[in-house]
Structure 1
Amino acid sequence: MQNRLLGIHMIVQNEEHHLVRCLDSFKPMDSECFITDTGSTDRTPEIARHYGATVLHARWEDDFAHARNISLPLASTEWILCLDADEYVIQGLEELLNYLPKVHKSVSRLRITIENRIGEGTGESVIFQPVRLFRAHQGYRYAGRIHEQLVRGGTRDGGEQDGDDLAINDSFIREEGWIAEHEPLAPLRLVHDGYLPSTIAQGHKPLRNLKLLQRELADHPGQPFHLYNAGVTYCQLGHIEQAAEAFTESFLHTPLHAPYRSTLVRDYAKVLLAMGRYDEAHGLLAGEIQRYAGYADLHLIYGEILEQQGLEERAYKSYARAVNCREGFDGADLKDKSKAGIRGIHQQAIEQTDKPESDGLREGKSFDEVQREPARMERHYVTDVGCDSYKAYTAMGRLAQKRGFLQESAHLYSLALSSEVSYAPAWTGLADVLQQSGETDESIAETLLTRWKEHSKKEDSDPSVITSEDDLTHVVHVLASSGAYGQALNLLHGDAWNTRIKHEDYLYWMLCANRVSDALQYVQNQWSEEHRAGVNLQPEQRLDLALTYWANDLSISESFVAAAEPQEREGWRLLNDLLDTGKRVYFEDDRDGKIVHQTLQAATELSKNIWIRAVQTGQLAFARKLYEKVAAINPEHDENGVHSRWLAAILYRQGYTMAAAELLIQSMSKGDMDAESLFYLGEAVYVKGHYDQALILFQQALEKDSEQRQARAGAAVCYMQLALGVIRQERTRSPADKVLIAQQTVLEQQLRTAEGIPWRTVFHAKERRNQLADQAHFIMHDREG
């Protein structure tokens, strides 16, 4: 017998792939169910009837509210729950049925919690709490062609139109239902995954939404709520400049009390940050974080903006405030030195408050008063999962590491993992800082395993013994991400095929560890004949397979060539012949030279991808060999030094700075240099402390490309370093000169800020290892003589 307490109401169109999962999740409730179908051409109506739903057929009129309202008068239950087919229950269904009879009769609307998944990885979800539950036959209906709103009698109390139930969603935000702060929260939690990137990429929903929003804006020009949603839709479609324009217009006209305003501020700041408009983003959030002081997302975004401006200490404090926003958080896990071992700038960030002039506190309120305000107001913000915990801790760990607080950084990464054990950036950061601290790969592996067992609540008498396949797989992947390929392979003991390690990953790691003979044996013993021929492999995996053969002085098979893309086959065949030491390459040309030209072009383009992969896997000797082979048959391929500079850039970004510098110096001696090459060479000189020479190179880079932000920052830092050197020299003669002391103090602070701007090439554990590795001599012989 169906319960008369709660009924489900939905509108659908072609939802056969989602509807079964949704209705299955509500099956234990045995609820009355009305499904309004707006023109499905698949099995949706049939599935709905199979689950006992009453199917109502309606013509789609480009109006979500109209479709929603069709079933509401037919409800025979006390409460109505409005759903979408791509939502399903994960928690609280039984608790909800026990909760509803206890709700006071004066309460007619309830919020629920929805986790909107915007990606496949950990932390790629948005949590919001819309009004989705309301009492039947109490005058409620929906209004609005799109992002429909739940209204009562046409208006809210006081004559304002209710703006509680809206729908926005993309990589920045999805909120389907704006939160009214006074409605109770029911114990029901849903997941919505209809706006994953794979769905967004199809473009159907965003284009449909944009069409409806444009119609709304035609009827109501300048309406800020519709402008906001238009901005979100532009983000979904990748039109970020149009999104910024829409957000700007909406922000200017949105009332301060509007329920969606806090989320508008968040998305607006994200767009400005993505566009590199840091000053505007800073100006926006410097004031708004006081209004929404309990909104962790704003503090996290503000920290990212401050980082981009070089204000690292303030960024760190902003991340710490994001953690303080966590419900029930009192800072104990950070302040307890015996437990946390916190040192350095993190302790200052937690225990000290900024001065009013630096934070822009307004209205004469103290920092503590502002921090307590969210608790008094009981705001319910739309938030990215992890902003108030592991994402903030990881950001703090990254900054602490950059500033040299390595012990503190490792602890912060561990705090992140205590909040979310599967958060990959925290694991990668922990492995990275341990390597930077001088730990051996064996020690790093043991530490990672111990942390994994601690955070996973797994017990083992000997942390160095791996007994779980999950433990092994996880630790191995983290080690590999930090460039400790040899240790990762040692942990596997040759049994990769008995774990969840993919064959392609195992092969890549062996190449990176320079175990090329083992890689060949692995391919021959473990790969299927189809895979050995390169069939159904991704492009990078095909490159790894070819590198395995060539690094062992073997040729790739004709079946491998046949499995390649048609436009690449001749290139593969030519390169294979070139690398065969016992074979001479001859060209059979037609009269106008087309065959030779096309084959050389195919080989040259393909060789670029092979060079990149060879450098990524550390096969520098092979990369040099291939370079010379291609140059031998096509002397004109690098007559202007373009390929040399291109290869130098690849080497530099992978940490092979010495090999890259050799190529760049050779290119400089032969002729023209581009802006990127000049910057890399300037940075290499800057690291050596030759600020005057680095300045010249950065200035030359700016002459080539005046928009290169990294070179501009580098030049500014060089000027400061040179000026500081002059002041220090003068102070040796006049150590008590107060003017010189003051100038030095100011300049050192300015230098810290300038150095904090992310202008330097970032080298993590893998690249740091490459800097210490033997680097092949890449100076190519002059072939003109």
Structure 2
Amino acid sequence: MQNRLLGIHMIVQNEEHHLARCLDSFKSIGSECFITDTGSTDRTPEIARHYGATVLHIRWEDDFAYARNISLPLASTEWILCLDADEHVIQGLEELLDYLPKVHKSVSRLRITIENQIGEGAGESVIFQPVRLFRAHQGYRYAGRIHEQLVRGGTRDGGEQEGDDQDMNDSFAYEKGWIAEHEPLAPLRLVHDGYLPSTIAKGDKPLRNLKLLQRELADRPGQPFHLYNVGVTYCQLGYIEQAAEAFTESFLHTPLHAPYRSTLVRDYAKVLLAMGRYDEAHGLLAGERQRYAGYADLHLIYGEILEQQGLEERAYKSYARATDCREGFNGADLKDNNKAEIRGIHQQAIEQTDKPGSDELCEGKSSDDVHREPAQMERHYVTDMGCDSYKAYTTMGRLAQKRGFLQESAHLYSLALSSEITYAPAWTGLADVLQQSGETDESIAETLLARRKEHSKKEDSYPGAVIYDDGLVHVVHALASSGAYGQALNLLHGDPRNTRIKHEDYLYWMLCANRVSDALHYVRNHWSEELSDVRNLQPEQRVDLALTYWANELSVSESFVAAAEPQERKGWRLLNGLLDAGEQVHVEDDRDGKTVHQTLQAATELSKNILIRAVQTGQLAFANKLYEKMAAINPEHDGNGVYSRWLAAVLYRQGYTMAAADLLIQCMSQGDLDAESHFYLGEAVYAKGHYDQALILFQQALELNPEQRQARAGAAVCYMKLALGVIRHELTRSPADKVLMAQQTVLEQQLRTAEGIPWRTVFHARERRNQLADQAHFIMHDREG
């Protein structure tokens, strides 16, 4: 029996991959359903009719509002719910049916909650709460060619349509610039996955949207709402500079009370941050995060900006403030119960967040200078999931770890996991800081398993709770990310099939753990060498399989080589023969030498991918062997030291700093260093405390590339350290010299900021382990003889 309380209205075109899922999620309530098809050429209408929907066929007129309005007069239900085909219910449908009859008659519009997935991982969603529910036959219709808005009774004074943006919206409809009403939030939650990067790559939605937005702007030049959405569309297309221009223009003309303005500020700041325009982003958020004080995203972005500027204490403070934005949160879990766990400069930052107006004062503003929203404007911001909880705690944990507060860092990562047990960065961060604290791999595994068990007990304490039964996956991945490959493999007991561990990850971990014979056994059991099986391998998987055979001093099969891309086959055959100790390699020449050149070129490019993977898996002996073999058959392959410098950079970034430095010093003796090589060598010298030598290398890097930001920051830090050393030396002779003491204080503050700028290469647990590992000596052959 069809219910007369709630009806579903949709517009669709070629949605056969999504529509059934959407309609299936509403099937239990037997809703009236109108689907307006705008020209599908697939099975969409057939699927709609299968679910009992009334299908209306119209021609697409490049106007979303026109299409949406077609079905509204046909509704026989009290309420209308407008959906998109790539949305589906995850929560609250039965509750909604209980809720709607109780809604006061004066309320005619309701908001719902939508999780817009922007990534494949847990928590990679944006939460927004648009008006999607409204009473039928109350004069409502949609207006706007794109990003259509729900309007009622024509237009407002001045000709501007009343309404709110369906995609980027707020809690209020506005009338004459002020609040008209507050739409309640209905207990319905949907997921929308139509704008996942993988989905966008398959279709042309952003290009279609851009075309419609440009038509809107042709009709209404300079309209800030459309300019904002142009910026969003450019972001989806990857045109970040054009997005920044659109956001800038929109921001300059958007009224303070506009419903989408807070989201515009967020997206504008994100783009400026991504472009490295830190001063502009800082200036934007210094005031705007006071206006939208409850917007966790702004505090989190502001913290990232401050970190890039080296202002780590203030960055931490901003991250902590994001956690205060949780609904009903009073800060107890961070500021009271666990305050004893927080130490050092981070405790000071947290205490500062308790001081009213402290942010305004640190920005050089009085409390009167900051124009906040009216107190009655309760906000429902468009927000990334976790910005007010697990993402904020994780960034705080990372920053605490960077500053050496390891116990505090571990505590903050644990807080993040208490908020979201599936958040992978918190798991990997916890494993990383435990390794940095000197814990054994066995102890790290025990701590992570205990953390998982603790969460399971909490789930058990709630009646009807769904038990998360594959938490072992996160523990295993966290152990592997910290370089504890042996422990990760041991937890799987030699068989990943009972978990969501991918076969290629398992093989990679065995190579990293140097269990090459086990890896060979695993490959033979799980991968066929038949052409059809190996042809579908990804490039890294193909290299891992080859490494498995070569590390066991075996050759890859001809079927493996034949399955490679045509342009790579000659390279595979040459390398396969080159690494076979019992085979003599000959490259057949032709009269113009073309065959030799093509074969060597293919082998050289392929050898780079193999060397990268060999270094990543810790197979340095094999990497050295391949490097020597390539040098032996092609003495000209390393012209001007390009190949050696490239290999040194690969080694350095993986933590093999000694091997990299050794190779770079050999290159330096032949005058072959480029700007990047000078920087890496300078950083290695800096780590040993030789600031004068490091300064020379950083300066040489800047001479070769004046735009290298890392070398510039490194040189500045070296200058300050050398100057501070001179002042301290003078103070030993004149300890009461107030001028020197004042200079020392100022210089120490400046040095803290300079050191806080993220200029140094970041080494995590895996790279830290490699710094202590045996490192092969890569011989650089004489290119002239």
TM-score by length of 2: 0.94
- Once the two structures are superposed, what CA deviation does each residue of 1:219-255 show, in whole Å capped at 9, x if it has no partner? 1111101101111111111111111000000000000
Whether 2:636 is the aligned partner of 1:632: answer: no
Do the aligned partners of residues 45 and 178 (structure 1) sit closer, same or farther apart at CA in structure 2, a change above 3 Å counting?
A: farther
Q: How far 1:731 moved relative to its partner?
A: 0.4
Residue in 1 that maps onto 2:596: 596
Residue in 1 that maps onto 2:195: 195
Pairing of 1:252-401 with structure 2 (within 5 A): 252-337=252-337, 341-352=341-352, 353=355, 354=358, 356-364=360-368, 376-401=376-401
Q: How far 1:80 moved relative to its partner?
A: 1.3
Residue in 2 that maps onto 1:436: 436
Residue in 1 that maps onto 2:544: 544
Whether 2:755 is the aligned partner of 1:755: answer: yes
SS in 2 for 1:364: helix
Do the aligned partners of residues 598 and 760 (structure 1) sit closer, same or farther apart at CA in structure 2, a change above 3 Å counting?
A: same
SS in 2 for 1:115: strand
Deviates more, 1:295-304 or 1:523-532: 523-532
Residue in 2 that maps onto 1:170: none
Residue in 2 that maps onto 1:98: 98
Residue in 2 that maps onto 1:49: 49
- Once the two structures are superposed, what CA deviation does each residue of 1:564-586 show, in whole Å capped at 9, x if it has no partner? 11111111111111111122222
Do the aligned partners of residues 512 and 26 (structure 1) sit closer, same or farther apart at CA in structure 2, a change above 3 Å counting?
A: same
- Once the two structures are superposed, what CA deviation does each residue of 1:689-714 show, in whole Å capped at 9, x if it has no partner? 11111111111111111111101111
CA distance, structure 1, for counterparts of residue 762 and residue 154 of structure 2: 56
Paired residues of 1:131 and 1:177 also in contact (CA < 8 A): no
Do the aligned partners of residues 508 and 531 (structure 1) sit closer, same or farther apart at CA in structure 2, a change above 3 Å counting?
A: farther
CA distance, structure 1, for counterparts of residue 184 and residue 403 of structure 2: 45
- Once the two structures are superposed, what CA deviation does each residue of 1:37-86 show, in whole Å capped at 9, x if it has no partner? 11111222222222222221111111111111111112222211111111
Paired residues of 1:662 and 1:779 also in contact (CA < 8 A): no
CA distance, structure 2, for counterparts of residue 153 and residue 338 of structure 1: 54
Paired residues of 1:114 and 1:190 also in contact (CA < 8 A): yes
CA distance, structure 2, for counterparts of residue 45 and residue 356 of structure 1: 57
Pairing of 1:486-505 with structure 2 (within 5 A): 486-505=486-505
SS in 1 for 2:439: coil
Pairing of 1:303-702 with structure 2 (within 5 A): 303-337=303-337, 341-352=341-352, 353=355, 354=358, 356-364=360-368, 376-457=376-457, 470-530=470-530, 534-702=534-702
Paired residues of 1:111 and 1:131 also in contact (CA < 8 A): yes
CA distance, structure 1, for counterparts of residue 413 and residue 523 of structure 2: 37
Residue in 1 that maps onto 2:464: none
TM-score by length of 1: 0.94
CA distance, structure 2, for counterparts of residue 217 and residue 178 of structure 1: 26
SS in 2 for 1:16: coil
CA distance, structure 1, for counterparts of residue 375 and residue 606 of structure 2: 60
CA distance, structure 2, for counterparts of residue 22 and residue 716 of structure 1: 57
Paired residues of 1:532 and 1:545 also in contact (CA < 8 A): no
Paired residues of 1:326 and 1:388 also in contact (CA < 8 A): yes
> What is the percentage of aligned positions where both structures have the same residue?
87
Deviates more, 1:107-116 or 1:660-669: 107-116
CA distance, structure 2, for counterparts of residue 783 and residue 707 of structure 1: 31
CA distance, structure 1, for counterparts of residue 374 and residue 700 of structure 2: 51
SS in 2 for 1:759: coil
Paired residues of 2:529 and 2:557 also in contact (CA < 8 A): no
Task: Please tell me the residue identity of whatever aligns with 1:778.
Answer: F
CA distance, structure 2, for counterparts of residue 2 and residue 362 of structure 1: 60
Task: Please tell me the residue identity of whatever aligns with 1:750.
Answer: Q
CA distance, structure 2, for counterparts of residue 203 and residue 468 of structure 1: 34
CA distance, structure 2, for counterparts of residue 335 and residue 318 of structure 1: 14
Paired residues of 2:171 and 2:380 also in contact (CA < 8 A): no
Paired residues of 2:110 and 2:131 also in contact (CA < 8 A): yes
Task: Please tell me the residue identity of whatever aligns with 1:450.
Answer: A
CA distance, structure 1, for counterparts of residue 83 and residue 337 of structure 2: 48
- Once the two structures are superposed, what CA deviation does each residue of 1:269-311 show, in whole Å capped at 9, x if it has no partner? 0000011100000000001001100000000000111111100
CA distance, structure 2, for counterparts of residue 326 and residue 653 of structure 1: 38
Do the aligned partners of residues 450 and 688 (structure 1) sit closer, same or farther apart at CA in structure 2, a change above 3 Å counting?
A: same
Task: Please tell me the residue identity of whatever aligns with 2:518.
Answer: D
SS in 1 for 2:188: strand
Structure 2: which 5+ residue stretches go unaligned? 174-180, 461-466
SS in 2 for 1:377: coil
Deviates more, 1:658-667 or 1:549-558: 549-558
CA distance, structure 1, for counterparts of residue 286 and residue 169 of structure 2: 28
SS in 1 for 2:17: helix
Task: Please tell me the residue identity of whatever aligns with 2:291.
Answer: R
Paired residues of 1:413 and 1:426 also in contact (CA < 8 A): yes
Pairing of 1:722-741 with structure 2 (within 5 A): 722-741=722-741
Task: Please tell me the residue identity of whatever aligns with 1:587.
Answer: V
Residue in 2 that maps onto 1:171: none
Paired residues of 2:428 and 2:477 also in contact (CA < 8 A): no
Q: CA RMSD in A?
A: 2.1
Deviates more, 1:38-47 or 1:605-614: 38-47
Task: Please tell me the residue identity of whatever aligns with 2:215.
Answer: R
Paired residues of 1:390 and 1:420 also in contact (CA < 8 A): yes
Do the aligned partners of residues 362 and 157 (structure 1) sit closer, same or farther apart at CA in structure 2, a change above 3 Å counting?
A: farther
Paired residues of 1:344 and 1:408 also in contact (CA < 8 A): no
Task: Please tell me the residue identity of whatever aligns with 1:295.
Answer: Y
CA distance, structure 1, for counterparts of residue 524 and residue 531 of structure 2: 10
SS in 2 for 1:107: coil
CA distance, structure 2, for counterparts of residue 413 and residue 87 of structure 1: 32
Whether 2:38 is the aligned partner of 1:34: answer: no
Residue in 2 that maps onto 1:3: 3
Deviates more, 1:634-643 or 1:342-351: 342-351
Residue in 2 that maps onto 1:244: 244
SS in 2 for 1:133: strand
Structure 1: which 5+ residue stretches go unaligned? 168-174, 461-466
Task: Please tell me the residue identity of whatever aligns with 1:713.
Answer: A
CA distance, structure 2, for counterparts of residue 762 and residue 774 of structure 1: 21
Residue in 1 that maps onto 2:463: none
CA distance, structure 2, for counterparts of residue 533 and residue 292 of structure 1: 55
Paired residues of 1:645 and 1:667 also in contact (CA < 8 A): yes
Residue in 2 that maps onto 1:63: 63
Paired residues of 1:393 and 1:412 also in contact (CA < 8 A): yes
Residue in 2 that maps onto 1:135: 135
Do the aligned partners of residues 159 and 340 (structure 1) sit closer, same or farther apart at CA in structure 2, a change above 3 Å counting?
A: farther
SS in 2 for 1:194: coil
Residue in 2 that maps onto 1:463: none
CA distance, structure 2, for counterparts of residue 179 and residue 572 of structure 1: 63
CA distance, structure 1, for counterparts of residue 77 and residue 440 of structure 2: 65
CA distance, structure 2, for counterparts of residue 199 and residue 505 of structure 1: 25
Paired residues of 1:166 and 1:178 also in contact (CA < 8 A): no
Task: Please tell me the residue identity of whatever aligns with 2:416.
Answer: A
Task: Please tell me the residue identity of whatever aligns with 1:493.
Answer: H
- Once the two structures are superposed, what CA deviation does each residue of 1:425-446 show, in whole Å capped at 9, x if it has no partner? 0000000000000000000000
Q: How far 1:179 moved relative to its partner?
A: 5.0
Residue in 1 that maps onto 2:176: none
Task: Please tell me the residue identity of whatever aligns with 1:474.
Answer: H
Deviates more, 1:104-113 or 1:176-185: 176-185
CA distance, structure 2, for counterparts of residue 388 and residue 451 of structure 1: 21
Task: Please tell me the residue identity of whatever aligns with 1:357.
Answer: L
